[in-house]
Structure 1
Amino acid sequence: MSVKITELAARFVEEITSAMNRLEDPEEILDTLLSDCIEATEADSGSIMLLDSTGEYLEARAVRGLNIIGGKLRLRMGEGVTGWVAREGKSRLVSNASEESDYIRLKEDLQSELAVPMVARGELIGVLSVDALRAGAFTQEDADFLNIMANLAAQIFARLEDNRLLKVRDRFHRVMMEISRVVSHSLRLDEVFREIMTITEKAFRLHRSTLFLYNREEDALKIAASSGIDEREALSIKYAPGEGVTGGVFNSKKAIFIPSARNEPGFLNRMKTVPESGDMGYFCCPIFSGTEVVGVFSTFTHPQTGIDPDSVLEFLEILGSIISQAITIQRLVQ
């Protein structure tokens, strides 16, 4: 299972970032995502539906292999399998459509469906679903893969819509291509994190990146992986939920960027990274497993040349999503 998931994940990251480098329209990114997911799961059709502005309806934004009457598909939250997934925030695997009372048949001969939520910043933005003509077409492994890819794509799509990432697209694309190769050849979280941050720190002038995971037994955030921090030093650094900037981000489930760490009252500087005579920016974002916060990713930033801070923040939030998916992969392997 682990080999298939990592190979598919690496291929997807490479293809979706290549598409980002070619395409201006976020809708075309969704089309690319859907086509890749249909192929990877050997499905016959599929759709991506996003929440409308009211948050009460799902509207089809990408469709493959389905005959939609009138050219549009719209479902109320909770309606059908897709609406159920949106309401519950959980994936759903249908092996025999005739046995599901809430199944909405968009094509007469469809027998199976697999639908997964698309989550960005801890909030549902839509549902990705694939269908097949044969019964029992999809497995839990397919569901695991689609969950990983749907959440990663949701992060990318949500940020592409405001066009900020287009300003740094070339650099972003280059870094993401390198990261995709890292994901494909290592399953260890600490190795993946260090290699990802080595690549990213050079491209975006970052420093001393850390991944904190929540330890339930100790009720504390502890360093699980880091770049530029001594292992013995890392063992002594931890935060309670709500403590300092790091613990605050864990509780709020929202990313934060502090332009001046030295002048931030809530910044505790436990890693002694910011000297009294100098200053750096500090980025911190929650790490999700589905809608649950499981940790925090943080990094220090030097002043950027030719890139506005908002663009860097958008990129780092996507990087946090990639790290989230690496954690999900590791848990599946274990």
Structure 2
Amino acid sequence: MASNTGDTDNRGIESLYRISSLVGETEDPQDALEVILDEMVRVFRASSASVALIHPDSRELRIEAASGLPITVKDFPLKLGVGVTGWVALHGEPLLIQDTRNDPRYVALREDVLSELAVPMEDKGRVIGVLNLDSNQPNTFSEDDVLLLRLLTREATRAIQQLWAVRQLRVTARQMETLLRVGQSIVSKKDLNTVLDAIASATRDLIDARFAAIFLLDDSGEFLELHSIRGDGWDDPYQEKLSLDESSVGTAIRHQRQVEVLDLARTEEHHFVPVVQKFGLISMLATPLSFENQGIGVLCAYTDSLHRFNNDEKKVMKGLASLGAVAIENSRLYRRIFETEESLNRNDKLTTLGLLSAEIAHEIRNPLTVMQLLFKSVDFDFEEEDPRHEDIRIIGEKISQLEDIVGRVLDFGKSGDGMRGRFKVESIVRETLQLVRMKLFQADVRLVYSSHPDVRESEVNVNKGQIQQALLNLIINAVDAMTGGGEIRIRLDPEEGNRVRISIADTGCGIDPEIGDRIFESFLTGRKNGSGLGLSIAKRIVRSHRGDIHLSWTGASGTCFELWLPLLHGGN
């Protein structure tokens, strides 16, 4: 059916206006495509229309939207060069077929289609899809229709690209929100397994992966062991140990770079085999977990369809891996702190505490620096009403909290002989409780702290680190006496003679009466793994500060120790 140039211009202007108006009413690219196709059918008096896009991974054409066609057409992918649509996609040129019965390039999706017009959809000179018009009459479309359809398709593609860009920005914003939420979450987690599971779950959410797994280097540094796996439908316990030379997972950590496997079945991958086979996992992205330029493990994402990970997904995985590596090392550091605390019960040298402080100073400063960099790299200026504004504030607060903890422990570790100064008694006690709060939590011990108003501002002239050592010994002994959990009560009270009394009471099993009179002697202990030095060291420290410790009471309901120290008054 022929049409003159004047009619073509009028139809073009009217259709451009309608497409712009209709597309502007939706934010969903899929809805916009359907609106555009309905308009194309109306303008060109076609019986049906479709948009087929080139899949970036398989390089096949897949019908994304259709008008006047059965929904089943979306189930039939087309190869480039096959059929009218494939020919246009391959050559990047429009194709007009006046009678499909006489053109071998036509592949029938409907038996009643007798003429077809197809034009390429282009983005910056690159073909991304094809728009097709069909008619059940021969000779329906003209050369003028070819020109008009090219014009309308170009404008429609531009509009759709803008909607795709907006959608991608929203996906990126959601990914950043998830990263912020993960950062907020793992800062509060200290258990390694809990941290690993949180990272794996976040990986699935961020890039829409079917499965996520975390492998960590073993102590030998030669093997990767599976520590966490997250995916729908998999609840069975599963173990995996890989040599660094066996798979792409090992390659990622050996070369410190991301490794992408497009099709696991077509490569010599021998890891994760039961999971891969059961759930049909196809593509994988392995991202190294690195801390201070040293590989500690690999974070893997798996999809159950052929998928080429784009640059945004790779960047998100790198960011999550960096954050995860910090969280993993932070968790390991806490575990080492707890182990060192235990060793204090069996070590008669106060310098052990200084070594602990030095390790903490070295280990925590670096992850804190990385966390600060990651936090500052998220450059979103949210309005105060936006809930993400509060998320950012909370993460900054948690990082500052960690910095405060480091400062307190460093001050403790630097305490040496002769380093005495003026300190508030309550401040010393509270800082000591900060050091053992995780041990109390792990042992299921409830802490009840109180102080008399008259001593809350009172000061003492002491070596703070040594006094904290003495308090630590008393508190750790109390925790060890309550194997099934319990309660520790610590109270500060004024004492005659311008002194302060610190009481530490527990609900443990009490002290054996046979050794009650000799508990401050060196190497005397009632515990199997005790060194017998804790109380003797504590008493020696307190007496060197012109104070004392004694056993107030003990029995089946628990034990109470009392510690006295002289207070400063005036300016002396």
- TM-score norm. by structure 1 comes to 0.49
Give the number of the structure with larger relative contact order, counting CA–CA contacts within 8 Å between residues 6 or more apart.
1
- TM-score norm. by structure 2 comes to 0.30
